[in-house]
Amino acid sequence: MPPIPLPRDFQWGFATAAYQIEGAVDEDGRGKSIWDTFCHLKPTRTKGANGDIACDHYHRFDEDFDLLSSYGAKAYRFSISWSRIIPLGGRNDPVNESGIEFYNKLIDSLLARGITPWVTLYHWDLPQALHDRYGGWLDVEQSQLDFERYAMICYERFGDRVKNWITLNEPWIVSIFGYATGGNAPGRSSINPQSTEGNTATEPWIVGKALIMSHARAVALYNKRFRASQQGEIGISLNGDYYEPWDGQDERDQLAAERRMEFHIGWFANPVCLAQDYPVCMREQLGERLPKFTDADFGLLREADMDFYGMNYYTSQFARHRDRPAPETDFLGNVDEFQENKQEVSVGEPSGVHWLRSTPGLFRKHLTRVYRKYGKPIYITENGCPCPGEDKMTREEAVEDEYRIRYFQDHIDAVGLAYNEDGSDIKGYFAWSLMDNLEWSDGYGVRFGVTFTDYDTLERTPKKSALQLKTMFDERITAMTDGAEISSVNNVRAHM
């Protein structure tokens, strides 16, 4: 079968996050983040792993960018460590010039190689000082003002060269794993026996509003003060699985699948994409526990018109309705999640981590649902997988990552089908991740990288998939010749 064409201006590259790769946690004035604290809790919450050294990207970024160049990447998505820029985090706290200098070097090094920088302002590493000072994201008003000032400094100091901004990475994970299950920093939960603080019934929803309004302030600020001069784009990266009904013939499961996606995606996408209230099903289930938006909040959300929807996608699931009322601690939408349906058919081929199966057909459905519902051009800001058994493999075994190559190819073809046949406006793709790194609470066992990292020597070794991606994209982008502008794309969009 010939390659499925992608647009000529399609951007592609790789993604990382600061705490997962940088290391150097106490060098050059960097302040602590909540992940520094969380990784050193006893007993361990991260399988004994921490980001103190990680991949030592702080000292090896030129080596890593040489790899990026050799892989043919056109773009690179990385995050800035808030506490490297403002060690204490707050709007009246001093700026760390050494942190500014480090990210200036990163940006200039990328540009010198012809690689477009994509910057995420917040990838989970809240300054610990803000958590200590007022509870961090639990204070809706304070946190958004501090985030706005942090964003302003980044725009001022880097915006002459950075033209692609992402405000937040996966606010659902921040809210739920950080404040409902307690599996991520800061580890607050009332249902996790390891947690000593938190209220799963209330705190995730407060944090969600704090993140939504922080995003809005950062986007509105860019629109008012920086867009005209810097001519950049700004968006957000939302995670979310696609859900099919566990029993396709049961209307209750059909409603459960849609409700699960509303709790996963609509929670954030309704306000930030449409300047609308949370989904009705959330209001119905959560009642007064779901914070209200004021008229002033909606005004700010309207001012925060963003350019694109960043999609982090890994897998899909089946949703089954529950007959009993939702407990106060439920955050899924009163559904049960399964990887097999009623007929015991798997949602996809298992990977090297229990929660991820390869589901390219449902990825296509997900892309089209999100585009039609929210109307924003889509950049896939994360997509990837570990190979089955990869956590136990030697370097020589791990570089032969045929499962990952197949996963990438199938999911990139799903992008092409969504673009050409469904009329979804998809503009780019970032593979997760450039290198094996600290996978948060999974520690250093799970390997998502296209580069093998030896955590003892920190030596990097390209896997086969790293070089295959260039071939995949070259074939698909060059296939979009003058005569190959699929007419159905325009026909579909004209009737949407």
Q: Which residues are catalytic?
A: 170, 382
Contacts (Cβ under 8 Å, ≥6 apart) of 64: 55, 57, 434, 435, 460
Query: Pairing mode, if any, of strands 316-321 and 335-338?
Result: antiparallel
Q: What are phi and psi of 210, to 5 degrees?
A: -60, -40
Distance CA 407, CA 401 (A): 10
Distance CA 298, CA 232 (A): 24
Q: In sequence order, what are the beta bridge partners of 311?
A: 238, 380
Distance CA 200, CA 93 (A): 31
Among 95, 231, 81, CA closest to 159: 231
Structural tokens at position 207: 């944090």
Query: Pairing mode, if any, of strands 233-239 and 308-312?
Result: parallel
Distance CA 81, CA 106 (A): 13
R_g (Cα) of the chain, nearest Å? 21
Query: Pairing mode, if any, of strands 233-239 and 164-169?
Result: parallel
Amino acid at 298: F
Structural tokens at position 64: 């890593």
**Other CB atoms within 10 A of residue 16 CB:** 24
Distance CA 144, CA 168 (A): 12
Task: Report yes or no: 10 and 479 within 8 Å, Cβ to Cβ.
Answer: no
Among 379, 366, 369, CA closest to 496: 369
- In the numeric block, the tokens 């800061």 are attached to 186
Task: Report yes or no: 87 and 30 within 8 Å, Cβ to Cβ.
Answer: yes
Residue 402, SS3? helix
